[in-house]
Amino acid sequence: MALRKYKPVTAGTRWRIGNAYAEITTNVPEKSLLEHQHGTGGRNFQGRRAMRYIGGGNKIMYRLVDFKRNKSEIKATVKSIEYDPNRTAFIALLHYIDGEKRYIIAPQGLEVGSSVLSGPAVAPEVGNALLLKNMPLGTVIHNIELQPGKGGALARSAGTYAQLSAKEEKYCVLKMPSGELRKVLSTCMATVGIVSNSDHALQSMGKAGRNRWKGIKPRNRGVAMNPVDHPMGGGEGRSSGGHPRSRTGKYAKGEKTRSRTKSTNKLIIQRKNGKKL
């Protein structure tokens, strides 16, 4: 991926670092794979604000992405690489030989005209989806299922990937993007390769208005509020506000958020900090 640094001809472009979109081949999405989506503006079913700092933004259509890759042993050709406003990664439009069209998350190195396959034991090549148990050790993968047939849930954002570290009887051990070592059923599907748009995190908006286009409102800091509004508010001058915490008083740093009784804790071999649960 290539980044584009803008000349400071305006205040909004002075700090802007954008995507050059060198991999994108078309800006017209496949109409049959689009759906309308309704923005909530942070309101619940009663019309009351449940989440702050959400609202406005451009209207966007949802792209129906195939996370299951369940068209087994049917060859598909990559027709285009496209931008998706709903996710950080790029998406690829596949044309199957039976006439069906589907979107998938585009891995790095996938080009227009390339052929991809999905199935239990297809070749472990970039863009192909197969069972974990049929992959060689060390394979770099993304869009990983947690339950067979449910569809990919892990390593789907820009530049992420997991690595197949070991195989056991029922499980495969994966090194996750966070560094966590985790067991996943060997009958789960995954796609070979690294997710595209790896430089996404290096972009800079340049101005607040670009976030407003995304439906993100300005966020007010807790230390700038009064004590009645936030636990970190109040004080004389620029006081630090004490230990970082949420509006309801819940600690923002250091507190464990994962339940000790969660059933899948037994599948985690090592957390990202090197400790077991």
Enclosing H/E stretch for 191: strand 189-192
Taking the CA atoms of 135, 137, 140 and 144 in sequence, report the sign of the dihedral they define.
positive
Whether the predicted pLDDT of 272 surpasses 90: no
Residue type, 196: S
Q: pLDDT value at position 132?
A: 96
Which option is the CATH number for 3-200+262-270: 2.50.20.10, 2.40.50.140, 3.40.630.10, 3.40.1190.20?
2.40.50.140
**223 φ, ψ to 5°?**
-70, -15
Percent of the chain at pLDDT above 70? Answer: 99
What's the whole-number mean pLDDT along residues 61-83? 97
Residue with tokens 């996938």, as numbered in its chain: 110
What's the whole-number mean pLDDT along residues 115-129? 95
Enclosing H/E stretch for 19: strand 17-19
Q: What is the pLDDT of residues 142-183, one digit of tens each?
A: 999 999 999 999 999 999 999 999 999 899 999 999 999 999
Would you list the domain boundaries of the chain?
3-200+262-270
Lowest mean per-residue pLDDT among 116-125, 159-168, 177-186, 247-256: 247-256
